[in-house]
Structure 1
Amino acid sequence: MTEKLTITSTADLLAAVPHLLGNQPKESFVVLTARLGALGATLRMDAPAESAPLDYAQMMATYAAHDEKATGSYVIVYTDEKPAYGFPYAAHVLALSNELATARMPVKTVFLVTGTYWATYGTSERNPLDEIRDSNANATLTYFGSAPDIDVYHPELLGGWALPVEAPEGNLEDFEAACTAWKAALDAKGMPNTATARELAAAFQHKHIRDYLFRDTISTHNGAFGDTLTGKFTGRPDWERVDHAEAIAFELMKAVPAGQRAPMLSLMGWLEWLKGHGTQADRYLKLAAEDVSDFRLAVLLRELINRGAIADVARDEGTAYKRRLI
């Protein structure tokens, strides 16, 4: 097994993006930073909509600049927008190219990917999407188990009926019992049984206990809830433990009815944000705010993400989550 993949064509490059991000971008700008002989970071932002070209470009270039080893970049515009003339988001593409050049990451090529074709941006070419799907990179990554657009949360698997749980009172004994049970679940290889799942789901209903459980999911937390929740902690988290925590959160949601799943959805959203997966994080947090109307934690975390905040742990190559490709 290796984490290196040889990119030999544009189709390979474009095929790798959904595997790197974990989902197929839609109405998005993607920047791939490039190093000597290798790709660096992958950054995705929603298509600019009403954002001013310079403001949008500066924000995206600032995030890309966290890859201090980058010597160049690629820009990919994913959109089905059809402007009256010219090419979609032309002013934004120009501004972004200028900002990346200023940041010493000059753009090698800009690509356009629509729902029906891909092309080098600014040209009249129309290349079939099958070239991307049939590329060596896509075949290799799929063979080794990478599956874009597959995530932990599948609502249809949750079931439609379960008795509600009652949150504990929140005394010291409750805190200690919940933290011990959560640690045991995270350390175990499998999933908790139904009784344990319901006990943990009940603990997540108490907002103060929930905060402790969030914090203790991270193996390198510094003890401060505010800092941990906003991604300000040192060291590299045990990312396998984090992935396991997301899978457990889904199991806990099976054990309770709708209306009690928001804390677990918020946990999943928060963990995805720490990984640098803002789109997926926002999806889970939005579902949390729908499960419990305007669930406060989910609302606050969505505001943080929508302001463009990136967790410190995701900024540092040494601590950031690395999606295993092959």
Structure 2
Amino acid sequence: MTAPEKLTVSGPADILGFIPHALGYWPAGSLVAMTMHGSRLGATLRLDLPAPDGTSAPVQYLNAVRGYLEADTEADGTLLAVFTGDSHLAAGSYDRLLAALGPVLDGAGMPVREAWYVGDTVWRDAWCMDPGCCPVPGRPLQEIRDSALNAEMVYRGSSVGPAPGRQDAPAPLVSALYRAAVLEADAEWERVLAPRRSSAAQFRAVLDTWEVLLAGGAAAPWLPDADRDGFLRASLLVPAWRDAVLIMCAAGRVAAEDGAAFHGFDPGLTLEPVRPQAPDAAEHCHAGEGLKDDFPRLRLVASTAAGPAGRSRAVPGYGGVLMGTEPAVPDWASMEALDRILTELAAPGGGAVAAALTCRGWIEWCRGRGSYAAAHLHRALETEPGYRLAELFLELVGRGTLCGWAARKDAAWQRPGR
């Protein structure tokens, strides 16, 4: 996460007040490191704190901090903040960690300029011993919450939400009638789509439906439609289609279709592709409203799009997109829209939840928000133990692997309000 273009910083409370906005939540049990470009803030990194004992500065941990910060090639300094409880703050439990980080970051050309402890009720400079400016046990935490920079960020539209955990944010409310209708549509669409999984024409029809919704953006009103939502949810249950949706939202339709050759399409399959019937405005199935008697509706469609003639080096590959190394900058607006759509599709529950949460976890990982990614992926595995894609992404997050886009300032995601 990179800082906004212009910020007014008058003291440590302003810098510490920016951290929750950079992360999206108030951290706890965390080491937060911020790179500096001269007098400007650079990237923000959060890591879980190691155990507060004699092994509080393991070499592997120190090297991980250095490795992450070195991704910011323009950095010439570092600010450190240890967010922990008041008891650890008073006991100096992490003095050894800060002392060990100093020479490691010095050697990387990013010397530590300032460091602070932030507790539950107080905060203090990690190295200041002057009781005049650094009273014991510390200064009131409210100084950070009342800082001018915090007020500026709120004015810009930024907000600080709850910390990520095993429980996600509340799901959109849906009526029992709508939930039943969507689950019925799921079953019907799974039955209809099953023999078409190897159809190139059906693959393109699936992308057509998703492409229209993604083009609307994250701010477009969401009008629940049981038939359409059932189709979308059923499409996520086909790994090749699910992966193509991720590729399309980040790198475009051409990239999604270019990898179609790896899906094992059957050229002899003659079944006509299907997609949901686009309802008139009056026919939208809103949550809590009745359903049309002809539900579910299926419509045969003729696909006119031609498949890729051959692999082009200019087209991003699936592996590169999933790891965030290509394209140079992803379509963040489309990824924002997909995240919103997946939230809505997961709300009724059922078999599509694991796929939706896994895709949301990948989007959060691309944004550089590993804690949020892990929360989504853990929930996906709680919903469907052994869900392979969730396991793979969670392994990336657990290793501390950074998405390629998140590691570059020119490609990194910016929270709304920046």
Given the two structures, how large is their TM-score scaled by the length of structure 1? 0.91
| 1:179 aligned onto 2:271 | no
Equivalent position to 2:399, from 302, 307, 315: 307
1:251 deviates by 1.4
| 1:17 aligned onto 2:19 | yes
1:43 deviates by 0.7
For 1:77-156, list aligned pairs within 5 A: 77-80=82-85, 82=87, 86-122=91-127, 124-149=136-161, 154-156=169-171
Q: Structure 2 counterpart of 1:39, which letter?
A: L
CA distance in 2, matches of 1:306, 1:81: 28
CA distance in 2, matches of 1:136, 1:81: 24
1:325 deviates by 4.2
Pick the structure with greater CA Rg.
Answer: 2
CA distance in 2, matches of 1:192, 1:214: 22
Instruction: Flag structure 1 segments of 5+ consecutive residues without an equivalent.
Output: none
| 1:216 aligned onto 2:244 | no
Q: Structure 1 counterpart of 2:40, which letter?
A: A
1:58, 1:96 within 8 Å by CA — same for their partners in 2? no
- Evaluate the alpha carbon distance shift between residue 138 and residue 33 of structure 1 in structure 2; reply closer, same or farther with a 3 A threshold: same
Q: In the alignment, which residue of structure 2 is the partner of 1:239? A: 332
Q: Structure 2 counterpart of 1:281, which letter?
A: A
Equivalent position to 2:66, from 47, 51, 61: 61
1:144 deviates by 2.2
1:103 deviates by 0.7
CA distance in 1, matches of 2:29, 2:23: 14
1:223 deviates by 4.6
Task: Give the match's secondary structure for 2:409.
Answer: coil
1:185, 1:192 within 8 Å by CA — same for their partners in 2? no
Task: Give the match's secondary structure for 1:119.
Answer: strand
1:246-295, CA deviations, whole angstroms, 9 ceiling, x for partnerless residues?
111111113x4244311111111101101111111111111111121232
Task: Give the match's secondary structure for 1:155.
Answer: coil
Q: Which moved more, 1:164-173 or 1:279-288?
A: 164-173
Q: How big is the alpha-carbon RMSD for the aligned residues of Structure 1 and Structure 2?
A: 2.4
Q: Structure 1 counterpart of 2:62, which letter?
A: A
2:367, 2:413 within 8 Å by CA — same for their partners in 1? yes
2:251, 2:327 within 8 Å by CA — same for their partners in 1? no
1:23 deviates by 1.5
Q: Structure 2 counterpart of 1:155, which letter?
A: P
2:35, 2:72 within 8 Å by CA — same for their partners in 1? yes
- Evaluate the alpha carbon distance shift between residue 156 and residue 179 of structure 1 in structure 2; reply closer, same or farther with a 3 A threshold: closer
CA distance in 1, matches of 2:96, 2:5: 36
CA distance in 2, matches of 1:150, 1:25: 9
Equivalent position to 2:216, from 177, 180, 188: 188
Q: In the alignment, which residue of structure 1 is the partner of 2:298? A: none
CA distance in 1, matches of 2:29, 2:163: 20
Q: In the alignment, which residue of structure 1 is the partner of 2:389? A: 297
2:86, 2:121 within 8 Å by CA — same for their partners in 1? no
Given the two structures, how large is their TM-score scaled by the length of structure 2? 0.72
Q: Structure 2 counterpart of 1:91, which letter?
A: R
1:93 deviates by 1.6
1:75 deviates by 0.4
Q: In the alignment, which residue of structure 1 is the partner of 2:235? A: 203
Instruction: Flag structure 2 segments of 5+ consecutive residues without an equivalent.
Output: 130-135, 256-314
1:33 deviates by 0.6
CA distance in 2, matches of 1:151, 1:187: 30
CA distance in 2, matches of 1:275, 1:113: 25
- Evaluate the alpha carbon distance shift between residue 80 and residue 246 of structure 1 in structure 2; reply closer, same or farther with a 3 A threshold: same
